[in-house]
Amino acid sequence: MMDFAGYEMPVQYEGIISEHMAVRNSVGVFDVSHMGEFFVKGPDALAFIQKCTTNDASKLYPGKVQYSAMCYYDGGIVDDLLVYRFDDYYMLVVNASNIEKDFSWLSENVTGFEVEIENKSDEFSLLAVQGDNSLPLLQKLTDTDLSSMKYYTFAEGSVAGEKAVISRTGYTGEKMGFEIYFSSSTEVSEKIWNEIFKAGEEFNVKPAGLGARDTLRLEAGYCLYGNDIDSTTNTIEAGLGWITKPDKGEFNGREKIISELNSGNSRRLTGLSVNGRIPARKGYEICIKGETSGNVTSGGYSPVLDRNIALGYVPVEYSSPDIELQIKIRNNYITAKTVKLPFYKKT
């Protein structure tokens, strides 16, 4: 166990590698109840979300989920988040470490909008059930037809007899996975956790902690706020141009983002395949032609690839695949090569 964003969180249960491989080969369950849930209601809810996020929320329909980001006026990233469209309101799911900051930022932006924002983070528990066997496992516990759910959609229903929002989403790189929102009541939460593990016995389901969550998202090339993205990075240099839609109209940070697109950004978040058995960690220097040219933002061992991998910012001209560089680890230099993300993609 460890402190994470003020919550006591499991780093590992049985071991990071076994939990990682359980997700890749069958199914694993993460307790991510520490994530934040905000509800946005009112006549101007869509216009408000359009102003505060980079993606085009007008494309959402009831039952649809969208990955997006919030930026400051200078383009720096406030947070990455999910936007859920219900019939007459929206739910924003934000990172646990940013709940207070995000809610404050949104509150600063309400002027001129007829909108109500509620922080209901403490009212929800959230479990991420990830891996190929997540569907047959959860189908035992719900009447919702999970097989018909498309990626990044959700449905309101029940799990183990308890009211729940079932979302076909996840941050592990798995093609099949679900996230379940339900009451934070201890009785309800323990019931759903226990019923999932009873239903998953035939699939050898395992609980998984923060360690495996990090190695899984790293293999998939997904950003982690506080490491790969923060207030000093913008969505273009972070490789998140696909969730950034300048043509939708005004939003916070749009001017900086358009400038980046027009002038060409100077650096880019890049995948690195690291030689040797010593992992590259956050903060390690990336050297090109003997000069420090960037830093590692995330790094570790990939159980599936059986090698060390990392993410880091390098000058954009060195961000294409198969460029050799060095990473300074303590007083030693190890070689690495740039690779196209993701490191691993489920076939």
**Average pLDDT for consecutive 10-residue bins of the chain (347 residues)?**
92 98 98 98 98 98 98 98 98 98 98 98 98 98 98 98 98 97 98 98 98 98 98 97 97 95 90 96 96 96 97 96 95 95 93
- Select from 153, 147, 127, 148 the least CA-distant residue to 135: 147
Instruction: Establish if 345 belongs to a structural domain.
Output: no
Distance CA 58, CA 66 (A): 10
Distance CA 37, CA 40 (A): 10
Q: Note down the domain range covering 318.
A: 221-339
The enclosing domain of 201 has a CATH number of 3.30.1360.120
pLDDT computed for residue 123 by the predictor: 98
Could you say which of 164, 193, 215 is where a domain stops?
215
Q: Are residues 48 and 18 in the same domain?
A: yes
pLDDT computed for residue 166 by the predictor: 98
pLDDT computed for residue 320 by the predictor: 96
Q: In what order do the strands lie in the sheet with 206-208?
A: 154-159, 162-167, 177-183, 124-130, 28-31, 206-208
What domain count does the chain have? 2
Q: Are residues 244 and 321 in the same domain?
A: yes
